[in-house]
Every structure is written in structure tokens, then in C-alpha cells.
A and B are shown apart, each in its own frame.
Chain A
Amino acid sequence: MSYNQRTTTTVTPFAQVTNSSNWGIGNTFQPDTVSETWLTSVTGGYEFIGKGYMFGFLIPTGIAISAVGVGDDTTPDRYTCGYYFYPGNAGRAFSDDEFVNYGTTVRHRKVDPYYWPQASDQSRINVMRVEG
């Protein structure tokens, strides 16, 4: 696979979104730290227009069942691979806890809580920008 960089040669195609403290609750929560300026702010997340691969984990600090909405606009897909849980009280089906998305508009837009106490500051969303 090749990566065709469209901007300056010093810009990395790898980015990470984190928050400096525990992540908040709700659809409009936006993490406060993004490693690259080509990820721009949208309500509830970040995006760039172009092909890319996004993956990451949200890490509960207590009993939690939730999902991450990625790759769409105000009603993003809810990826089962984004469910995460505190195993002491998992009453809902779950799968692997890494969420992934590949598309032409890579956007993290919404955290969709079923039951969400809080997510750790070690939670992360990674983006690999793949243009061609």
C-alpha cells in the first residue's frame, strides 16, 4: 500500500485524539487534545475529508456499556467493535473493544452511551490518513 502525501513533507499521516482528563458523558463531548492540525473540530469530535483508517479504545473507569459513533455525520454508525464494558456488570452482548472504521470521510462524531460513568484519560482515537 502506498501513501501519497498531499501536503508538506513534514506532515505525518498518523494522528491521535485524547483527553487530558477523564472523558465526559454525552453525544457532544469533544476530547481536548489532537496531535495534528489536519484533524479539524466538529461537534462532538474531529474529522478530515479524505480516505483514512481510524481505530481506538474507550476505557471505562467503572461499570459501562457504550459505543463509539464513527464515519458519518449527525447519526453515525454505531460500531459493535466499539462497545466496551466493565465486566462485573455486563448485561449486554459485546464484542472486541477496539472500534475501527475506514472510509472517505473519517470522522469521530459521537459517543453513544447506554450506561456511561466515565472513560479514562488513557482512552484514545487513532487515525491513519491514507490518500491516493
Chain B
Amino acid sequence: MSYIAPFANKRLQIAEIRLSGSPAANGYFTFHSLIDDTFDTAPTGLNSATLTLPAGNYIFRAFMDITRSSTNDNYVFKWEAGGTLIGVEGRTAIADNIRSDAAEVPHDSTSSISLKLKCTSIEGSAPTLTSESRAFIWRVSN
């Protein structure tokens, strides 16, 4: 007789990734470098626009830190997984008089995930990301 533990242990994991790039509208930001992580297996695809993550349960969060030449220069951005936009959008400062700061979404997958961060629109001219722009990816294995 076998016994399957009803309460599987799950470890809450996080990866902090620096974001960079200067995309036009409908372009993608770059997952510049891994600041730190506690993942079972570190994400791959750094220094590119596509991050590959192992199967799991996730919540993705992205924040931009910017400089701008005009007060109305702002990015609006949203997560994309497997080619589909997901979740709610983030905005730098007060884009189009609306403030939302972070793009956020929970996401589950039983296979690996191709993750992108898309610039869905630009108010005014594109601002410039500083080195403090970040993606925070929380995970548990599924």
C-alpha cells in the first residue's frame, strides 16, 4: 500500500530581476540581469526580452524607475505569457492622468513559461529606465 502525503511542502521562492530597454509602443522590455533569486532553478533568458521559467505557480510584478525629459513622458506596460497579454497594467508615474505603478498578475503553468513584459503604450515620448527598474517574480512549484 502506498501513501500519498496530502499536504505537500511548498517553498515560496522569489527572483529579483533588473529591467532595461527603451521599447517603442508594442515593443518589449529587456530582462537585463538577475539581482538575486531563491528559485529551485534560476530563470534563463537574461539580457533578452524573453524569460523562460519552469512550470509552477507564479505571481509576476514589474515596476519602472525612470527619468524623463517631459512631465508627460510615461510607459504603460503589461505582462505577456506564451504570446498572450495577462493581468493588469502598470504605469510610470501618472501616465494619461492614471496611476497604477505595477503590472501584476498571478499565473500557473504545468509546462515552462515564455514570459515577456510588453510596452502597451507610451504617453508623450518614451522615458528612460534607470538601473532601479525591477521585476519581482514569486513562485511555488506545482
Name A residues whose Cβ lies closer than 8 Å to a Cβ of B: 1-6, 9-16, 18, 35-36, 56-57, 59-61, 84, 86-88, 97-98, 120, 122-124, 126, 128, 130
Contact of A3 among B10, B89, B106 (CB under 8 A): B10
Flag if B11 contacts A16 (CB, 8 Å): no
A-B contact count (CB 8 A): 86
Contact A97 B101 (CB under 8 A): yes
* Contact indicator A9/B8 (Cβ below 8 Å): yes
Which of B15-23, B43-51, B92-100 faces chain A?
B92-100
Cβ of B102: which chain A residues have Cβ within 8 Å of it?
A: 57, 98
**Is B34 an interface position by the 8 A CB rule?**
no
Minimum C-beta distance from A70 to chain B (A): 17
Known contacts A2-B11, A14-B138; 15 further A-B pairs (Cβ under 8 A):
A1-B12, A4-B10, A6-B7, A10-B108, A10-B110, A12-B58, A12-B106, A14-B57, A16-B105, A18-B88, A57-B99, A57-B100, A60-B99, A97-B99, A126-B104
B130 within 8 A of A: no
Instruction: Give A10's nearest chain B residue, CB to CB.
Output: B142
Decide: A12 near B140, CB < 8 A? Known: A1-B12, A126-B59, A130-B12: yes
A-B contact pairs, 25 of them (CB 8 A): A2-B9, A2-B10, A2-B12, A3-B10, A5-B9, A12-B58, A12-B140, A13-B12, A13-B140, A14-B106, A16-B88, A16-B104, A16-B105, A35-B106, A36-B106, A59-B99, A60-B99, A84-B99, A86-B97, A97-B101, A98-B101, A122-B88, A124-B87, A126-B59, A130-B12
Contacts of B104 in A (CB 8 A): 16, 56, 124, 126
A124 & B88 in contact (Cβ 8 Å cutoff)? yes
B49-76 Cβ-contact flags toward A at 8 Å (1 or 0):
0000000011100000000000000000
Flag if B59 contacts A14 (CB, 8 Å): yes
B57 and A120 contacting across the interface, CB-CB below 8 Å: no
Other-chain residue from A4, A36, A56, A98 in contact with B7 (beta carbon distance below 8 A): A4
- Residues of A within 8 Å of B8, CB to CB, are 5, 9
Given A5-B7, A16-B104: A122 touches B89 (CB 8 Å cut-off): yes
